[in-house]
């Protein structure tokens, strides 16, 4: 019996030691899209996971009540701006936002109600991993996993979770998509906000 408990403890210890990524492995998972690659964010993306650094820092109660969300990035004609249309399904009501974002290097920036920026990390195929930071007020850092499809393969989700850990984001995600109904493009039960 003593042997079994020691073997189990050793197996658990080995699992814990192999679970932590090295700084080199984390460096590979923190690579962002270059300015030349920003065009790849264009199109419609379904939100699958939403990470925060800490729940104390994040005060966005509506995200906890969100059933589903999607975002669409459209480059403007001069390729120096993007228009982001975002939809949230909250309590069977669609909330719509549109925001104009300026390309600055390999980030998108907004000077709307509070200064914010987004960078995009290299991740799985047909996925978009957005790191949003807001310097207004108390400041927030968010990591959002989007995908073109309603399901993300398990191995891709695991890779994104490793990326979130490397960036110091809290586990598990604050929001996980469960294939709930998405907001349509236009809806009569829509609240529109444009910044």
Query: Going along 5-106, which residue ranges are E strands?
Result: 43-52, 66-75, 81-90, 93-104
Mean pLDDT of 114-142: 86
Cβ(42)–Cβ(75) under 8 Å? Answer: yes
Q: How confident is the model at residue 137 (pLDDT cuts 50, 70, 90)?
A: low
Using one digit for the tens of pLDDT, what is the confidence trace for 34-46? 999 999 999 999 9
DSSP state of 116: E
As to burial, measured by CB atoms within 10 angstroms (0-12 exposed, 13-18 middle, 19+ buried), residue 104 is: exposed
pLDDT, tens digit (0-9, with 9 covering 90-100), for 12-56: 333 333 457 888 889 989 999 999 999 999 999 999 999 988 766
pLDDT of residue 17: 38
Average pLDDT over residues 81-101: 92
Please give the domain boundaries of the chain with CATH numbers for all domains.
23-194 (2.40.128.20)
- Looking at the chain, the whole-number percentage of residues with pLDDT higher than 70 is 76
Spatial separation of the C-alpha atoms in residues 137 and 114, rounded to whole Å = 8
pTM: 0.82
Which are the contacts of 144, defined by CB distance < 8 A and separation ≥ 6? 47, 49, 50, 51, 129, 130, 132
User: Burial code of 166-178, b = ≥16 C-beta within 10 A, e = fewer?
Assistant: bbebbeebbbebe
Amino acid 15: pLDDT: 36
pLDDT at 3: 39
- Comparing CA positions, the residue from 25, 34, 11, 10 lying closest to residue 122 is 34
Query: For residue 153, what are the contacts with CB-CB under 8 A and spacing of at least 6?
Result: 124
**Whether pLDDT at 9 is above 90:** no
* pLDDT score recorded for residue 190: 44
Q: What's the pLDDT at 57?
A: 59
Q: What is the mean pLDDT of residues 166-171?
A: 92
Q: How far apart are CA 140 and CA 123, in angstroms?
A: 22
* Mean pLDDT along residues 98-113: 89
Determine the Cα–Cα distance for residues 87 and 184; give it in Å rounded to an integer.
Answer: 8
**Rounded Cα distance, 75 and 136, in Å:** 25
- pLDDT recorded at residue 140: 80
- Quick one: tokens of 142? 């968010």
In this model, does residue 151 exceed pLDDT 50?
Answer: yes
Supply the pLDDT for residue 59.
Answer: 58
């Amino acid at each position: 019996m003593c042997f079994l408990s020691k073997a189990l403890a050793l197996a658990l210890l080995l699992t814990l030691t192999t679970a932590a990524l090295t700084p080199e492995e984390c460096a590979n998972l923190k690579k962002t899209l270059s300015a030349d690659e920003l065009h790849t964010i264009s199109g419609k993306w379904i939100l699958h996971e939403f990470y925060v650094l800490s729940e104390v820092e994040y005060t966005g109660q509506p995200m906890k009540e969100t059933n589903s969300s999607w975002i669409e990035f459209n480059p403007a004609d001069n390729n120096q701006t993007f228009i982001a249309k975002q939809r949230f399904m909250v309590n069977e009501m669609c909330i719509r936002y549109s925001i104009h974002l300026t390309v600055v290097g390999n980030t998108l920036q907004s000077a709307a109600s509070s200064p914010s920026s987004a960078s995009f990390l290299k991740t799985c195929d047909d996925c978009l991993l957005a790191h949003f930071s807001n310097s207004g007020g108390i400041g927030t850092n968010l990591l959002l996993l989007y995908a073109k499809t309603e399901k993300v393969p398990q191995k891709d989700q695991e890779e994104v979770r490793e990326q979130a850990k490397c960036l110091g984001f809290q586990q598990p995600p604050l929001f996980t998509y469960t294939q709930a109904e998405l907001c349509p493009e236009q809806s009569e039960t829509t609240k529109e906000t444009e910044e």
